[in-house]
Amino acid sequence: MFHIFKKAAQTHLVTIGYPHAPAQISESFRGAPSFDFPSWRDARPAADACPTGAIRIEESAGRRRVTMDYGLCIYCGQCSEADGTSAVKITRNFELGVRERSELIVTAEYPLEQDGSQGKLAGLNSGHASEGETKEHLERSVHSRIQQVLGRSLAIREVDAGSCNGCEMEIGALNSPVYDLERLGIHFVASPRHADMLLVTGPVTRNMELALLKTYRATPEPKMVVAVGACGISGGIFGLNYATIGGVDAVIPVDVFIPGCPPRPHALLHGILLALGRMEQRAI
């Protein structure tokens, strides 16, 4: 026991300051890809390399439409490697949680050149929420907001609807001394009847469809549902097949989507705070 206390004294405080302080992200962390749509001249190599079809190309009448779906993206980085230009870069951005599925989809339109390349950008439709809106939710005191909305701690029930357990490992890290979710007045519970929020992972398997639906019905109002990871949003690498029915919103309503494969604990915390903001709006 003495050795444990000695080690703790030598280690000092390891708990992160996020969201009250900026997140300290490793230089080697692989976050969401970023696309310089105005200077992008050929999306075909990146689209061909994408293993989940997150980058899609449609061509008709001399025009090309390129669609980037962050809800399908697994952050593998193959698009950047295949493109080979500065138009596609892998960033360290992890704050991608959104309230609407459409906010994860970006569409760009180009005229087609004779050699098959893309001309000048003709149109760009991005559903992403503004950065200012995200900062507004993160700058306010989390613990005080939870007390104002609920009058007590925020209780979360995690539901594995058929994941590979990658997301579960990141969710488990939230309870570690490094992230220490309890410091924010947030804790996990064993029963949906005691929960305010469902944190759902994995493509929903057909065997778990009824169980997920019953869990949702057992959670008291007002309740929030957060779909975690590419699989929870769209089915991810598993897609739609004989064993899975796709994302969580195919079975129950979803309030916040957290992309990633898997999303890191910082991203999970960011998404939980967005869900708390929506719960606060409902209360108002």
Residue 257: give the domain boundaries. 139-283
Of the residues 71, 104, 129, the one at which a domain ends: 129
CATH code for the domain of 198: 3.40.50.12280
Among candidate residues 156, 21, 97, 142, the one with its CA nearest the CA of residue 274: 97
User: Are 55 and 154 found together in one domain?
Assistant: no
Q: Round to whole Å and give the CA distance between 48 and 51.
A: 8
* Cα 249 → chain centroid: 14
List the end-to-end C-alpha distance of the chain, in Å, as a whole number.
Answer: 49
User: Are 143 and 279 found together in one domain?
Assistant: yes
Pairing, β 105-111 against β 88-90: unpaired
For each of the chain's 284 residues, which pLDDT tens digit applies?
Answer: 777 767 666 666 678 777 777 788 888 888 889 999 999 999 999 999 999 999 999 999 899 999 999 999 999 999 999 998 889 999 988 888 888 898 999 999 999 998 889 999 999 998 654 444 444 444 456 666 676 666 677 899 999 999 999 999 999 999 988 888 888 888 999 999 999 999 999 999 999 999 999 999 999 988 899 999 999 999 998 988 999 999 999 999 999 999 999 999 999 998 988 888 777 666 54
User: Are 123 and 146 found together in one domain?
Assistant: no
Pairing, β 186-188 against β 33-35: unpaired
Q: What is the value of pTM for the model shown?
A: 0.86
Report the domain count for the chain: 2
Mark 5-31 as b/e (b = at least 16 C-beta within 10 Å). eeeeeeeeeeebebbeeebeeeeeeeb
Q: What are phi and psi of 95, to 5 degrees?
A: -85, 75
User: Are 149 and 256 found together in one domain?
Assistant: yes
